[in-house]
Structure 1
Protein backbone atom coordinates (compact mmCIF):
# COMPACT_ATOMS: atom_id res chain seq x y z
CA UNK A 1 0.00 0.00 0.00
CA UNK A 2 1.32 3.42 -0.96
CA UNK A 3 1.03 6.35 1.43
CA UNK A 4 1.27 9.82 -0.01
CA UNK A 5 2.16 12.83 2.08
CA UNK A 6 -0.78 15.17 2.00
CA UNK A 7 -0.56 18.78 3.16
CA UNK A 8 -3.93 20.14 4.24
CA UNK A 9 -4.75 23.48 5.86
CA UNK A 10 -3.99 22.19 9.35
CA UNK A 11 -0.62 20.77 8.30
CA UNK A 12 0.22 24.01 6.54
CA UNK A 13 -0.75 26.06 9.59
CA UNK A 14 1.31 23.79 11.85
CA UNK A 15 4.36 24.27 9.65
CA UNK A 16 3.99 28.04 9.79
CA UNK A 17 3.55 27.97 13.57
CA UNK A 18 6.63 25.77 13.96
CA UNK A 19 8.60 28.50 12.15
CA UNK A 20 7.41 31.12 14.64
CA UNK A 21 4.49 32.64 12.76
CA UNK A 22 1.40 33.39 14.83
CA UNK A 23 -1.49 31.75 13.05
CA UNK A 24 -4.86 31.29 14.80
CA UNK A 25 -6.34 27.82 15.15
CA UNK A 26 -8.85 26.99 12.41
CA UNK A 27 -7.34 29.59 10.07
CA UNK A 28 -7.88 28.81 6.41
CA UNK A 29 -4.81 28.45 4.22
CA UNK A 30 -5.47 31.89 2.77
CA UNK A 31 -5.84 33.46 6.23
CA UNK A 32 -2.64 31.72 7.35
CA UNK A 33 -0.78 33.16 4.37
CA UNK A 34 -2.13 36.64 5.06
CA UNK A 35 -0.99 36.42 8.67
CA UNK A 36 2.43 35.10 7.68
CA UNK A 37 3.18 38.05 5.40
CA UNK A 38 2.08 40.70 7.90
CA UNK A 39 5.15 42.61 9.04
CA UNK A 40 7.45 40.30 7.11
CA UNK A 41 11.11 41.00 7.91
CA UNK A 42 14.02 39.99 5.70
CA UNK A 43 14.91 37.06 7.98
CA UNK A 44 11.34 35.80 8.22
CA UNK A 45 10.96 36.14 4.46
CA UNK A 46 13.97 33.85 3.99
CA UNK A 47 12.47 31.23 6.32
CA UNK A 48 9.11 31.49 4.60
CA UNK A 49 10.73 31.27 1.17
CA UNK A 50 12.48 28.02 2.16
CA UNK A 51 9.17 26.57 3.38
CA UNK A 52 7.43 27.49 0.13
CA UNK A 53 10.27 25.99 -1.92
CA UNK A 54 10.11 22.78 0.12
CA UNK A 55 6.34 22.53 -0.22
CA UNK A 56 6.15 23.31 -3.92
CA UNK A 57 9.23 21.32 -4.86
CA UNK A 58 8.73 18.35 -2.58
CA UNK A 59 6.95 15.07 -3.09
CA UNK A 60 4.04 15.89 -0.80
CA UNK A 61 0.67 16.62 -2.34
CA UNK A 62 -0.74 20.01 -1.45
CA UNK A 63 -4.50 20.28 -1.25
CA UNK A 64 -5.77 22.73 -3.87
CA UNK A 65 -6.74 25.35 -1.25
CA UNK A 66 -3.22 25.31 0.18
CA UNK A 67 -1.50 25.49 -3.21
CA UNK A 68 -3.79 28.32 -4.32
CA UNK A 69 -3.21 30.31 -1.13
CA UNK A 70 0.57 29.94 -1.48
CA UNK A 71 0.46 31.03 -5.11
CA UNK A 72 -1.94 33.93 -4.55
CA UNK A 73 -0.69 35.27 -1.20
CA UNK A 74 2.82 34.08 -0.38
CA UNK A 75 4.61 34.04 -3.71
CA UNK A 76 3.82 37.67 -4.57
CA UNK A 77 4.99 38.75 -1.11
CA UNK A 78 8.23 36.80 -1.46
CA UNK A 79 9.25 38.01 -4.91
CA UNK A 80 12.52 39.83 -4.65
CA UNK A 81 12.24 43.42 -5.90
Structure 2
Protein backbone atom coordinates (compact mmCIF):
# COMPACT_ATOMS: atom_id res chain seq x y z
CA UNK A 1 0.00 0.00 0.00
CA UNK A 2 1.30 3.47 -0.92
CA UNK A 3 0.99 6.44 1.40
CA UNK A 4 1.19 9.88 -0.09
CA UNK A 5 2.34 12.88 1.89
CA UNK A 6 -0.57 15.29 1.96
CA UNK A 7 -0.36 18.89 3.12
CA UNK A 8 -3.71 20.05 4.47
CA UNK A 9 -4.47 23.45 5.98
CA UNK A 10 -3.40 22.35 9.48
CA UNK A 11 -0.07 20.98 8.20
CA UNK A 12 0.42 24.23 6.31
CA UNK A 13 -0.39 26.29 9.42
CA UNK A 14 2.09 24.25 11.45
CA UNK A 15 4.82 24.96 8.89
CA UNK A 16 4.09 28.68 9.11
CA UNK A 17 4.19 28.51 12.92
CA UNK A 18 7.54 26.68 12.68
CA UNK A 19 8.85 29.78 10.86
CA UNK A 20 7.95 31.83 13.92
CA UNK A 21 4.66 33.21 12.63
CA UNK A 22 1.71 33.54 14.97
CA UNK A 23 -1.10 31.71 13.18
CA UNK A 24 -3.97 30.58 15.42
CA UNK A 25 -5.37 27.05 15.16
CA UNK A 26 -8.48 26.52 13.07
CA UNK A 27 -7.87 29.21 10.46
CA UNK A 28 -8.29 28.45 6.79
CA UNK A 29 -5.29 28.21 4.49
CA UNK A 30 -6.33 31.55 2.96
CA UNK A 31 -6.49 33.23 6.39
CA UNK A 32 -3.12 31.72 7.33
CA UNK A 33 -1.58 33.17 4.16
CA UNK A 34 -3.12 36.58 4.80
CA UNK A 35 -1.71 36.61 8.33
CA UNK A 36 1.69 35.40 7.10
CA UNK A 37 2.07 38.32 4.69
CA UNK A 38 0.75 40.89 7.16
CA UNK A 39 3.66 43.20 8.00
CA UNK A 40 6.01 41.23 5.76
CA UNK A 41 9.63 41.93 6.70
CA UNK A 42 12.54 41.09 4.37
CA UNK A 43 13.59 38.21 6.65
CA UNK A 44 10.07 36.80 6.79
CA UNK A 45 9.78 37.12 3.01
CA UNK A 46 12.93 35.03 2.53
CA UNK A 47 11.67 32.36 4.93
CA UNK A 48 8.26 32.28 3.25
CA UNK A 49 9.86 32.04 -0.22
CA UNK A 50 11.88 29.05 0.93
CA UNK A 51 8.79 27.39 2.38
CA UNK A 52 6.77 27.99 -0.79
CA UNK A 53 9.62 26.62 -2.94
CA UNK A 54 9.82 23.55 -0.70
CA UNK A 55 6.06 22.96 -0.79
CA UNK A 56 5.59 23.53 -4.51
CA UNK A 57 8.76 21.69 -5.53
CA UNK A 58 8.54 18.78 -3.10
CA UNK A 59 6.99 15.38 -3.44
CA UNK A 60 4.13 16.06 -1.03
CA UNK A 61 0.69 16.73 -2.42
CA UNK A 62 -0.85 20.05 -1.47
CA UNK A 63 -4.59 19.90 -1.02
CA UNK A 64 -6.36 22.21 -3.49
CA UNK A 65 -7.36 24.81 -0.89
CA UNK A 66 -3.74 25.11 0.30
CA UNK A 67 -2.33 25.35 -3.23
CA UNK A 68 -4.94 27.97 -4.14
CA UNK A 69 -4.23 30.05 -1.02
CA UNK A 70 -0.50 30.00 -1.76
CA UNK A 71 -1.11 31.00 -5.39
CA UNK A 72 -3.58 33.75 -4.53
CA UNK A 73 -1.98 35.29 -1.47
CA UNK A 74 1.61 34.22 -0.82
CA UNK A 75 3.05 34.21 -4.34
CA UNK A 76 1.91 37.76 -5.23
CA UNK A 77 3.19 39.07 -1.89
CA UNK A 78 6.58 37.42 -2.38
CA UNK A 79 7.29 38.73 -5.89
CA UNK A 80 10.37 40.97 -5.62
CA UNK A 81 9.57 44.59 -6.33
TM-score range, shorter chain: over 0.9
Aligned residue for 1:57?
A: 57
Matching of residue 34 in structure 1 with residue 66 in structure 2: no
Aligned residue for 1:7?
A: 7
Alpha-carbon RMSD across the aligned residues, in angstroms, is 0.4
**TM-score normalized by structure 1?**
0.99
Structure 2, unaligned runs of 5 or more:
none
Aligned length: 81
**TM-score normalized by structure 2?**
0.99
The offset of 1:80, in angstroms, is: 0.5
Divergent runs of 4+, >6 A = none
